[in-house]
Chain A
Amino acid sequence: MILAGVLLLLALVLPGLPLGEWRAFLLDTAQFAFLISGLALAWDLLARTGQLSLAHGAFFGLGAYAAALSAPALGTVPALLVGGAVATLSSLLLGLATLRLQGMYFAIATLAFSEVMRTLVLKAQFTGGSIGLPVQPAFGGAYPLGGYYLAVAVLVICTLASLLLSKSRLHFAMAATRQGEAVARVLGVPVVRVKLVTFMISAFLAGLTGGVYAMKTLFLSPYDAFGLGRAVEALVIPIFGGLYTTTGPLLGGLIIVSLETWLRLRIGEGYLVVYGLVLVLTILFLPKGLMSLFARRKGARHA
């Protein structure tokens, strides 16, 4: 909670600080970090129901393309909402077909979905195919910091959604679904509906994030927007930071994106290897993520 407040304050004043010649680079990296952390928070929402989604990269890409294509006609904010809506609609269809079944079916279907979306965008005409799609900057470029503050806003929305959902009745329904569907059902939790609603909220946030990303990079290609990299980032960050929490993905996002930015400069394309290793090592040795370190220390102080 406190960390979230401090981060928000820092994010708001960052453009005003005297950063010297690193200003542009820092602001760009920060903006990227906000967006990826937002995506990670969205992914974590669904993980709270025990479902593994490998499609969040695809929702991010769908949101990006939908926002980019509708922005000239609708304006920035409505276009972002369109991006979120397209992602939500696709999650509804995918969820209706798979969320009734065991969790592994869902994971497989989401992975297949993200692969097939890239194929479709590559083949389609109106998306620019493999050539890519140029995107207008946010608000037609009227405000130089518009994109930056949109990213801050999206991160705030994702954080609030994460916080509110962990205080709501839905939170308990989600936890019960995760810990044992049969028991949850006996207790009167409409398991399938809980999973579906969470999936749609999560996909909407991912689509929103993607839209702002499109207006940041100003150019979309299927390999970038629908790359496996996005899906990997979306899940490594919450796991590294701490699943089922709000602070975890925020903290993880800060650390992992810094690491990624540095690695991209050093080793280029293969930087994802670090994500794979972080994922494997965290699952094996720190399954509750960084947050469990703090929790343990707090527990020790009480004892």
Chain B
Amino acid sequence: MDLLLQTLINGILAAGIYALVASGLALAVGVVGIVNFAHGEFSMIGAFVSYLLFVGAGIDPLISLGLAALVLFVVGAITYYGLIRPVLAAPELNQMLLTFGISVALQNIALLLFGADTRVVSTSYQGATITLGGISFGAPPFAAFVLSVGLLGALYWFLGKTRLGFAVRAVAQNRLAPGLLGIETQQIYLLAFGLSAALAGIAGVMLSVMLYASPTVGFAYTLKAFAIIVMAGLGNLRGVVPAAITLALAEAFVSTYVPGGGGWVEAVFFLVIFVALTWRSWRLS
């Protein structure tokens, strides 16, 4: 019984960060209409920002969160303005190739700069655990979960309650009409892509504490975020949270109950994508 409860808690805690990365990706896909294969690389940059600030200036990751969000918002805005905007009217194949190229370039630039080693931001509270009635879990994952929930709440509030948020959703629904109503479509795209990158960056800072910073750390999260938004329906932000919980729980159960499950966890996201797509295909035909 305890094992089951522990597994459930592990899954739920992991779902927070998944939902954070995936809702950023859902913004890019849903609002800008770009399948961004470089999304995880924004997390990778966030992780390295956190690492460099911690090692270079002794800045605590909790403070780096804000800085990384700012840095990644700018990186995202520049990426949108310089690279994505020119291909918005190009065939889908070219758009996807472009973001894939950005992903490969960023990963390997990081490899040249930092090498393939994994670097951990080891804070004093890294190993701290919280014990509640026989169930114990790490303090950092719990903090990351709480923070993710808070940020997602803020994101939903922004999209659901503010005028700017309405504008973002309007652009997501129709490419042309919002322009006629006086909404600056280009600026909304810029905002959405910047936000998308900032969310990924924040998740990256969390990863630098809970996991590590390395050139390839983001790539796994790109794949998992894709699995989540494929389950939710591409660009559907509402479905992201339940989909993230499903994926995280599935992974937690495989890792606890499947013998030698450690390695198979890495295959769960593919099974999720495959099942979701097959189901969609069947419904279509």
A interface residue numbers (CB < 8 A to B):
47, 50-52, 54, 96-98, 100-105, 107-109, 111-113, 115-116, 119-120, 122-123, 178, 228, 232, 235-236, 239, 267, 269-273, 275-280, 283-284, 287
Q: Are A111 and B223 in contact, CB atoms less than 8 angstroms apart?
A: yes
Knowing A112-B223, A269-B116, A270-B111, the reply to whether A279 touches B285 (Cβ < 8 A) is no
Which residues of the other chain, B, contact A52 by a CB distance below 8 angstroms? Answer: 92-93, 96-97, 100
Mark the stretch among B55-63, B101-109, B159-167, B178-186 that contacts chain A: B101-109
- Check if B139 is an interface residue, CB within 8 A of chain A: no
User: How distant is the Cα of A96 from the Cα of B281 in the complex, in angstroms?
Assistant: 8
Which residues of the other chain, B, contact A178 by a CB distance below 8 angstroms? Answer: 91, 93
Extra contacts besides A50-B93, A105-B277, A280-B98 (11): CB < 8 Å: A103-B96, A112-B273, A116-B270, A269-B111, A269-B116, A270-B108, A270-B109, A270-B112, A273-B105, A276-B106, A287-B90
- Check if B227 is an interface residue, CB within 8 A of chain A: yes
Tier of interface size on chain B: 35 or more
Q: Are A122 and B263 in contact, CB atoms less than 8 angstroms apart?
A: yes
User: How distant is the Cα of A105 from the Cα of B276 in the complex, in angstroms?
Assistant: 10
B interface residue numbers (CB < 8 A to A):
29, 35, 37, 83, 86-87, 90-94, 96-98, 100-109, 111-112, 116, 223, 226-227, 230, 234, 260, 263-264, 266-267, 269-270, 273-274, 277-278, 280-281, 284-285
Which residues of the other chain, A, contact B86 by a CB distance below 8 angstroms? Answer: 284
Measured CB to CB, the closest approach of chain A to B278, in angstroms, equals 4
Q: Indicate which residue in B91, B106, B223, B274 contacts A115 across the interface (CB closer than 8 Å).
A: B223
User: How distant is the Cα of A26 from the Cα of B230 in the complex, in angstroms?
Assistant: 46
Q: Are B98 and A100 in contact, CB atoms less than 8 angstroms apart?
A: no
User: How distant is the Cα of A279 from the Cα of B274 in the complex, in angstroms?
Assistant: 28
Knowing A104-B92, A116-B267, A283-B98, the reply to whether A98 touches B277 (Cβ < 8 A) is yes
Q: Are B270 and A115 in contact, CB atoms less than 8 angstroms apart?
A: yes
Which residues of the other chain, A, contact B104 by a CB distance below 8 angstroms? Answer: 228, 232, 272-273, 275-276, 279
Q: Are A287 and B105 in contact, CB atoms less than 8 angstroms apart?
A: no
Measured CB to CB, the closest approach of chain B to A203, in angstroms, equals 17
Knowing A101-B281, A105-B234, A270-B108, the reply to whether A276 touches B103 (Cβ < 8 A) is yes
Q: Indicate which residue in B105, B230, B278 contacts A276 across the interface (CB closer than 8 Å).
A: B105
Which residues of the other chain, B, contact A232 by a CB distance below 8 angstroms? Answer: 104
Which residues of the other chain, B, contact A98 by a CB distance below 8 angstroms? Answer: 277, 281
Which residues of the other chain, B, contact A269 by a CB distance below 8 angstroms? Answer: 111, 116
Q: Are A97 and B274 in contact, CB atoms less than 8 angstroms apart?
A: yes
Which residues of the other chain, B, contact A50 by a CB distance below 8 angstroms? Answer: 91-93
Q: Are B83 and A280 in contact, CB atoms less than 8 angstroms apart?
A: yes
Which residues of the other chain, B, contact A284 by a CB distance below 8 angstroms? Answer: 83, 86-87, 98
Which residues of the other chain, B, contact A235 by a CB distance below 8 angstroms? Answer: 97, 100
User: How distant is the Cα of A97 from the Cα of B260 in the complex, in angstroms?
Assistant: 28
Closest to A179 in B: B91
User: How distant is the Cα of A269 from the Cα of B269 in the complex, in angstroms?
Assistant: 28
- Most chain B CB inside 10 Å of its own CB: which residue of A108, A116, A228, A271: A108
Q: Are A109 and B277 in contact, CB atoms less than 8 angstroms apart?
A: yes
Q: Are B35 and A107 in contact, CB atoms less than 8 angstroms apart?
A: yes
Q: Are B273 and A276 in contact, CB atoms less than 8 angstroms apart?
A: no
Which residues of the other chain, A, contact B106 by a CB distance below 8 angstroms? Answer: 276
Which residues of the other chain, A, contact B94 by a CB distance below 8 angstroms? Answer: 283, 287
Q: Indicate which residue in A101, A104, A108, A276 contacts B284 across the interface (CB closer than 8 Å).
A: A101
Q: Indicate which residue in B91, B111, B116, B226 contacts A108 across the interface (CB closer than 8 Å).
A: B226
Which residues of the other chain, A, contact B264 by a CB distance below 8 angstroms? Answer: 119, 123
User: How distant is the Cα of A52 from the Cα of B227 in the complex, in angstroms?
Assistant: 17
Q: List 22 A-B contacts (CB under 8 A).
A: A50-B91, A50-B93, A101-B277, A101-B280, A103-B92, A104-B96, A105-B277, A109-B273, A109-B274, A112-B270, A112-B273, A116-B267, A116-B270, A119-B266, A228-B104, A270-B109, A270-B112, A272-B108, A276-B103, A277-B105, A279-B97, A279-B98
Closest to A284 in B: B86
